[in-house]
């Protein structure tokens, strides 16, 4: 399934992870540590200490309940969520039989939410079997012990594809995955009002991030924050884009506010909530993991995370070199009121367009231009872009692309993924369209 980041051969002898020096950010090349950065580093160290203590006590409970001896614990490292508190646990029984499990820690009811999410989708989607779950918290952490599913994440498989035959095989895999999800959707069609919509677990990735701590932590700290550019008018390849990032955010908040007083009920389904390639294991069968957002949701909300992550998100979150192979910034100028940027598409993103089109075709009975929701599919994609990973941590060139693509995601036609390239038609370079 994954590679190990480091080994913890016995919980009581665990080593502390290294702490990275804060990266230079886009607005300020200074390496001085601000009070906010110091607080963040301190919190990170405390968290890493607490997780090691939690591992120790969880290990004792696991050994007692399973009557097996833990011989190694290795942190999981995967393309998406590499900092997640997940571990491979290897045990041996009295007769010498060795087994491997998957141990996942969570805080703030995350584990309870995952247990509930598993119950929503079990019987329709294939998920790893739960072996044990914690009976008490250790330093604020709870845990679930799963059976270990051998295989690879879909995003890891995609990165290793080198020929058309393998790529076509991946497209078939995408269709199989979508067929599994569709079987869940068709069995669970209903209607939801605004209150139920806001309280949906899936909306923790959207509304609750926008009005909660995610937005504050990403964009309301420090004078050198990338959000200081959100009021700039973007001139992309000599074409003035009609909205600033701040205006897009305000429009989405206004839609949420207006919907609060609506008596409308919109079509709903039970969904996984986060079924992007980084949460799907393939090895013969297709397995869905990280089910904490599974709940009653809307078709747009269910599609948004896999649409964005499997199209652009993984490139922004983890594959910066690959993103720079697809797009190159030729010039950039900030006048204080406007940002003039010339950006060149270097290689075709055909495989990403095809993957997105498979999603849209598979869900056309639920997701189409007639679908009703409290906000638009573009709005959901925009929120995925700005509220999943802190862009202040991106390298400078990636931050510039982040600004451009934030606005394009709110403007392009999401039902025609190739329309993404329409914003590059004015280039003096050959278009990839």
Asked if residues 73 and 7 have their Cβ atoms less than 8 Å apart, the reply is yes
Helices (H), 67-146: 110-121
Q: What is the pLDDT of residue 51?
A: 77
Asked if residues 188 and 270 have their Cβ atoms less than 8 Å apart, the reply is yes
In this structure, the strands spanning 233-236 and 338-345 are parallel
Condensed to tens digits (0 to 9), the pLDDT of residues 201-258 reads 999 999 999 999 999 999 987 778 999 999 999 999 999 999 999 999 999 999 999 9
Look at residue 241 and give its three-state secondary structure: coil
Does the 3-150 domain belong in CATH 3.30.200.20? Answer: yes
Element (H, E) at 102: strand 98-106
Percent of the chain with pLDDT over 90: 70
Condensed to tens digits (0 to 9), the pLDDT of residues 148-160 reads 998 999 999 999 9
Q: What is the pLDDT of residue 111?
A: 85
**Residues 24, 398: Cα–Cα separation, whole Å:** 13
**Residues 182, 304: Cα–Cα separation, whole Å:** 15
Condensed to tens digits (0 to 9), the pLDDT of residues 103-126 reads 998 876 778 888 889 888 988 999
Q: List C-alpha distances in Å: 397 to 299, 328, 350, 424.
A: 34, 9, 23, 18
209-223, 288-302, 414-428: least confidently modelled range = 414-428
Domain boundaries, the chain: 3-150, 193-268+296-424
Burial of 343 from C-beta contacts in 10 A (0-12 / 13-18 / 19+): buried
Q: What is the pLDDT of residue 91?
A: 97
Average pLDDT of the chain to the nearest whole number: 86
Percent of the chain with pLDDT over 70: 83
* Residue 336 CB neighbour total at 10 angstroms: 6
Condensed to tens digits (0 to 9), the pLDDT of residues 59-90 reads 999 999 999 999 999 988 764 344 568 899 99
Asked if residues 368 and 431 have their Cβ atoms less than 8 Å apart, the reply is no
Asked if residues 53 and 138 have their Cβ atoms less than 8 Å apart, the reply is yes
Q: What angle do CA 348, 350, 352 make, to 5 degrees?
A: 115
């Amino acid at each position: 399934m994954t590679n190990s980041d480091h080994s913890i051969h016995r919980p009581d002898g665990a080593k502390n992870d290294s702490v990275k020096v804060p990266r230079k950010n886009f607005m300020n090349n200074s390496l001085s540590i601000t009070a906010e950065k110091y607080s963040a580093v301190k919190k990170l160290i405390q968290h890493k200490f607490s997780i090691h203590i939690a591992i120790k006590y969880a290990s004792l409970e696991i050994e007692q309940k399973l009557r097996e001896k833990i011989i190694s614990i290795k942190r999981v490292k995967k393309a998406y969520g590499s900092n997640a508190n997940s571990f491979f646990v290897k045990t041996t029984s009295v007769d010498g039989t060795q087994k491997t499990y998957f141990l996942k820690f969570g805080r703030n009811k995350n584990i309870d939410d995952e247990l509930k999410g598993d119950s929503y989708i079990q019987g329709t989607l294939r998920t790893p079997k739960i072996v044990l779950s914690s009976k008490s918290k250790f330093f604020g952490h709870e845990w679930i012990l799963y059976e270990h599913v051998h295989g690879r994440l879909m995003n890891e498989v995609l990165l290793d594809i080198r020929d058309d035959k393998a790529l076509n095989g991946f497209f078939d895999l995408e269709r199989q995955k979508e067929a599994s999800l569709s079987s869940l959707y068709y069995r669970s069609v209903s209607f939801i009002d605004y209150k139920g919509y806001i309280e949906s677990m899936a909306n923790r990735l959207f509304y609750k991030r926008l009005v909660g701590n995610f937005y504050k932590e990403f964009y309301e700290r420090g004078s050198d924050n990338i959000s200081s550019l959100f009021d700039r008018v973007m001139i992309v390849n000599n074409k003035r884009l009609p909205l600033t990032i701040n205006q897009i955010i305000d429009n989405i908040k206004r839609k949420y506010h207006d919907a609060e007083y609506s008596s409308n009920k919109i079509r709903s389904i039970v969904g996984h909530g986060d079924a992007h390639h980084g949460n799907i294991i393939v090895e013969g069968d297709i397995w869905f993991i990280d089910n904490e957002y599974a709940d009653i949701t809307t078709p747009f909300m269910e599609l948004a995370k896999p649409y964005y992550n499997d199209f652009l998100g993984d490139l922004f979150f983890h594959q910066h070199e690959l993103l720079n192979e697809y797009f190159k910034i030729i010039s950039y100028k900030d006048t204080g009121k406007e940002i003039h940027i010339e950006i060149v598409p270097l290689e075709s993103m055909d495989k990403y367009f095809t993957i997105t089109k498979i999603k849209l075709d598979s869900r056309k009975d639920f997701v189409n231009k007639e679908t009703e929701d409290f906000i638009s599919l573009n709005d959901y994609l925009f929120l995925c872009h700005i509220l999943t990973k802190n862009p202040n941590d991106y390298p400078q060139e990636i931050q510039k692309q982040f600004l451009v693509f934030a606005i394009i995601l709110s403007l392009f036609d999401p039902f025609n993924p190739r329309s993404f390239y329409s914003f590059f038609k004015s280039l003096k370079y050959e278009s990839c369209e």
